[in-house]
Every structure is written in C-alpha cells, then in structure tokens.
C-alpha cells in the first residue's frame, strides 16, 4: 500500500494528464471542422491596419521629393524597424470591361528583363500598366482584374464581402477612407469597399459608399459648391456638380443632416481641425471646400500660377492638410475598442505626375509624407507597433520620371541638387507605367511580407539602392487580411 501523500500526488497527476488529453482531442476535433485557412497556423494579430497610398508614386517620385526635402535616406520609413520591399502592380488585363476569361495576360506580368530593356523598356512599361481602379481592387481584395473595375472581377461579378473594409466590419472593427482628391475616385472607392463595373460611375459609387454599413469615415475633395481654388461658385449646384458626392439628392440630405445612413457632414477647415481632438460623431463624411484636389489644381490669385517651383503659388487656405484629415479620421475610428482599418491616399501625387508638374508632385508627396509622420506619431503616442500595422506604398508609377537626359539615355538617374532645390529630372510619359513601386511596412505582421517574395530585380537594386526583392500588389491584401483576422497567409 502506498503512503498517503504520494498516492494523492499520483491521483492529481493522472487527473491533469486526463484533462490535457481531453483538451487536445477537443481541439483536434474543432480544427477538423474549420475551413483550411482557419485551421492553419495563426499569425500575429493587429488591432488596427492603416494603409497609406501615394497614388502614382514610383521610386523616383519618393526619391525626388526626399532630395528636395534634404531627407534622402533619412525619411521616417528609413529608420530601424521598417520592412523595405518593392511591389509589382500589373493588372489582369488592360481591357476596360470584363472579358469573361479571368486569365492573366502574361505579357503584363512584371519582368525585369522587359522593364529595363534600353531599347524597348519605356514602351513596354507604358503599354502594360494598371489603372488605379484595378490596382485598388488588387490591394483591397487580393484579386487581379481588368482596368476600370472597382472590386469587380473579369467574370462580371461584384466581389461582395471580399474587400478589406467588409472583412474589418465582420470582425467588429470600424473602417474609413481618406484622400486628397474626390472621395468617390478609384482608390478611395476600391479601398472603401464599393463595387462597380466602371470607375467613372461616381454618383453610383458615392451612393454605395454612403449606404455601406462598413464605413464610418469618408473624407476627400469633390465639393459641388466650390472651384479648384476653394472659392464658392455662383448658383445652386446641379446633379452633375454633385456626382462625386452621390448626386444632388444625396448632397441635399447630407447638408440637411438627414442622410438615412446617419452621416455627419463636415466641410470647413476648422471642422476638420476640430475633429482631430476630443469627442466625435459616430460617422463622418468630410467633403473639403474644393472641387477636385485639395491643392494640386489650384491656380493662385485669379487662377494664375506664380512660377513652376514647389510652394511658390499660395495654397488654398480653406482646406485641411492630408495629415489633419488622417488624424481626424483616426480620432473617429479609434473609439471602437475592437480597432479599425483605414486607407489614406495622397491621390493628387498622380494628378501632378500625369500633368508632368514636378513642382506640384513635390508638394503633394511632401503633404503625403507629412501625413505619414503624423500617423507614426499617433501610433507611438496612442497605440503601439505591437497592435498596429502601417503599410506605405503606391498603386502604380506615373510619368516615367527619370533624370534630365533620360530621353537620350534611358533610365538616366535623377540628379540631386540639394535641399530646397528641385532635382534635375524629366518625365517620359503622361500616363501610368508598369514600374516597380516602393513598399515600407512596420508594426504587427509587417515581417509577413518577407514570406511572400515573388522575385528579385537586381537592376532595381543597383539603381535605387534597395534589395530588389518584390511582392505583388495582391500580397498587400493577404498580409492585411492575415493580421486583421489572426489567420494564416492564405492565397
């Protein structure tokens, strides 16, 4: 017969082993009944995911602006703790309507050999580019599609329930989009979970965004009662004037404070600034008092551009900065204890590059970087890198921006001329290209991007001083979804 204490200890040990075995059997049984993605190994989970997109900003846009700022190699995303990669941005096809194939056009797939060809590289890069709609769809859903599509696939189907804001909503999180252009434009529409066959259906897109149960913040330009210089237009707005905000009826319901979705409309610079602190409404649609872009389209006094240098023409003084809008949006969204998803776009970087306005591009990219700095400060003061993932990227390159001799010597380097001076550069296109764009990420789950490397561009590594490793734009969705849900990196 065993002594009393050892016997009790044996019984206790047996009970512990039995309980542990029961838990294991229960967990195995539960996993067997979950979808493969949910049953897989979990990854770090983020409370908040913030994606910041400098529209149309290839590596040379980022670099040229940093040269002007005197910060090349010393920007906030150059600090320790950031993941530095490149992104391939090509679409499924360059068609502007569904083709019913749902098959990748192989000629569009990023190829370093084609991209850097000294004789044909420029032509291939220009001919194989994505538009902002297809790029936003890829980043918001993980699905490649045709140019012109807003969360719509090549089989002519809406990608309902598959966008990041819809996923965030299913998880009990809040969601929002912020932009420096009209808030129903392609990038905010795509990241805002709208679904449309054509990106130019602005009124339809705006109406869907306003009706969406998964958006709590919408901010941007597109005010129907103001011009590009922030001056009030004469006469009452028409339905066409109101297309970027959902049409005349929607605008009237917003201004009257009677929109059925319960939106609070803010319009003035002071209202945007007030939103950055203190208590906030539950849902805010901010429409700055300017027509197309916050600043890029301005003409100064009497619409005259003073000179082609950054910051020479007086700014529209009645609109907020992108940083102010970003902080106001976060102040609304962070009321949710479950966290939030937010996309912030420097949309007018693309507008400046389309117009080959180097000075305006530097202004717009500088405004974007100021917003990045404000968001980083918010994370470090009010959140943490352990609970928030921040992704900085672009949807595509625009303008084929290279050095001053790049029309004669393809890919000739931009020349840094010192802080406060425009770098020596020239544009070689007025549209988008298929060049690689940057990706900088920090925070919860940022390292997951390193598991998704699609290839290495050694020439890009040499020219831009980067690793040359690149992911696909659909991988931005994959990482964001993984850290929002706490699930594994599924295809």
Burial class, 6, CB count within 10 angstroms (exposed 0-12 / middle 13-18 / buried 19+): exposed
pTM score, whole prediction: 0.91
For residue 387 the two structure tokens come to 């609970």
Look at residues 87, 5, 37, 15 and name the one whose alpha carbon lies nearest to residue 395.
Answer: 87
Q: What tens digit of pLDDT does each residue of 297-313 get?
A: 999 655 555 568 999 99
Q: SS3 string of the chain?
A: CCCHHHHHHHHHHHHHHHHHHHHHHHHHHHHHCCCHHHHCCCCCCCCEEEEEEECCCCHHHHHHHHHHHCCCCCCHHHCCCCEEEEEECCCCECCCCCCCCCCCCHHHCCCHHHHCCCCCHHHHHHHCCCCHHHHHHHHHHCCCCECCCECECCCCCECCCCCHHHHHHHCCCEEEEEEEEECCCHHHHHHCCCCECCCCCHHHHHHHHHHCCCCCEEEEECCCCECCCCCECCCCCCCCCCHHHCCHHHHHHHHCCCCCCCCEEECCHHHHHHCCCCCCCCCEEEECCCCCCCCCCCCCHHHCCCCCCCCCCCCCCCCCCHHHHHHHHHHHHCCCCCCEEEEEEECHHHHHHHCCCHHHHHHHHHHHHHHHHHHHHHHHHHCCCCCEEEEEECCCEECCEECCCCCCCCCCCCECCCCCCCCECEECCCCEECCCEEEEEEECCHHHHHHHCCEECHHHHHHHCCCCEEEECHHHHHHHHHHHHCCCCCC
Q: Which residues is 433 bridged to in the sheet?
A: 397
**Cα separation of 342 and 59, whole Å?**
23
- Please count the other Cβ atoms lying within 10 Å of the Cβ belonging to residue 113: 10
Whether the CB-CB separation of 122 and 470 falls below 8 Å is answered with no
Q: Which residues is 143 bridged to in the sheet?
A: none
Q: What are phi and psi of 402, to 5 degrees?
A: -140, -165
Q: How far is CA 245 from the centre of its chain?
A: 20
Tell me the pLDDT of the chain (491 aa) as tens digits.
Answer: 333 334 434 334 434 343 433 333 333 333 333 333 333 444 689 999 999 999 999 999 999 999 999 999 999 999 999 999 999 999 999 999 999 999 999 999 999 999 999 999 999 999 999 999 999 999 999 999 999 999 999 999 999 999 999 999 999 999 999 999 999 999 999 999 999 999 999 999 999 999 999 999 999 999 999 999 999 999 999 999 999 999 999 999 999 999 999 999 999 999 999 999 999 999 999 999 999 999 999 996 555 555 689 999 999 999 999 999 999 999 999 999 999 999 999 999 999 999 999 999 999 999 999 999 999 999 999 999 999 999 999 999 999 999 999 999 999 999 999 999 999 999 999 999 999 999 999 999 999 999 999 999 999 999 999 999 999 999 999 999 999 999 888 77
Instruction: List all residues 6 or more positions away from 248 whose beta carbon is below 8 Å from its beta carbon.
Output: 237, 238, 239, 241, 242
- Please count the other Cβ atoms lying within 10 Å of the Cβ belonging to residue 9: 12
- 48-485, which class in CATH? alpha beta
Whether the CB-CB separation of 195 and 208 falls below 8 Å is answered with yes
Q: Which residues is 217 bridged to in the sheet?
A: 176, 284
Q: What are phi and psi of 114, to 5 degrees?
A: -75, -40
């Amino acid at each position: 017969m065993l002594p009393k204490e050892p016997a009790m200890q044996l019984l206790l040990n047996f009970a512990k082993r039995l309980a542990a075995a029961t838990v294991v059997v229960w967990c195995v049984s539960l996993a067997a009944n979950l979808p493969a993605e949910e049953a897989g190994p979990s990854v770090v989970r983020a409370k908040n995911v913030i994606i910041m997109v400098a529209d149309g900003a290839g590596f040379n846009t980022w670099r040229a602006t940093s040269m002007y700022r005197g910060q090349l190699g010393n920007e906030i995303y150059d600090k320790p703790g950031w993941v530095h990669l490149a992104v391939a941005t090509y679409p499924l096809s360059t068609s502007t309507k569904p083709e019913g194939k749902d098959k990748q056009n192989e000629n569009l797939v990023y190829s370093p050999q084609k991209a850097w060809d000294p004789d044909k590289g420029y032509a291939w890069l220009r001919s194989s580019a994505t538009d902002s709609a297809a790029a936003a769809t890829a980043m918001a859903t993980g699905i490649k599609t045709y140019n012109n599509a807003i969360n719509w696939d090549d089989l002519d189907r809406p990608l309902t329930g598959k966008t990041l804001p819809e996923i965030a909503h299913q998880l009990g999180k809040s969601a929002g989009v912020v932009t420096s252009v009209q808030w129903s434009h392609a990038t905010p529409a795509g990241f805002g979970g709208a679904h449309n066959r054509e990106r130019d259906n602005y009124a339809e897109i705006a109406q869907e965004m306003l009706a969406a149960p998964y958006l709590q913040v919408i901010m941007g330009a597109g005010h129907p009662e103001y011009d590009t210089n922030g001056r009030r237009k004469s006469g009452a707005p028409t339905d066409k004037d109101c297309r970027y905000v959902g049409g005349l009826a929607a605008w009237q319901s917003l201004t009257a404070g009677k929109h059925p979705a319960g939106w609070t409309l803010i319009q003035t610079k002071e209202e945007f600034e007030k939103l950055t602190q203190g208590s906030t409404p539950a849902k805010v649609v901010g429409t700055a008092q300017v027509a197309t872009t916050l600043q890029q389209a301005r003409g100064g006094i009497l619409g005259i551009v003073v000179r082609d240098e950054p910051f020479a023409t007086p700014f529209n003084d009645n609109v907020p900065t992108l940083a102010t809008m970003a902080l106001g949006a976060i102040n609304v969204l962070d009321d949710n204890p479950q966290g939030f998803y937010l996309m912030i776009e420097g949309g007018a970087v693309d507008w400046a590059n389309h117009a080959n306005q180097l000075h305006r591009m530097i202004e717009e990219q500088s405004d974007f970087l100021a917003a990045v700095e404000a968001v980083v400060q918010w994370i470090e003061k009010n959140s943490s890198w352990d609970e928030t993932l921040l992704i900085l990227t672009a949807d595509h390159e625009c303008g084929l921006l290279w050095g001053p001799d790049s029309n004669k010597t393809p890919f000739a380097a931009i020349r840094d001329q010192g802080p406060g001076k425009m770098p020596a550069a020239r544009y070689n296109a007025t549209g988008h290209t298929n060049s690689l764009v940057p990706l900088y990420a920090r925070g919860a789950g940022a390292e997951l991007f390193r598991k998704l490397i699609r290839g290495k561009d050694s020439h890009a590594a040499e020219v831009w001083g980067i690793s040359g490793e690149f992911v696909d734009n659909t991988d931005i969705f994959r990482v964001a979804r993984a850290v929002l849900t706490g699930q594994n990196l599924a295809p």
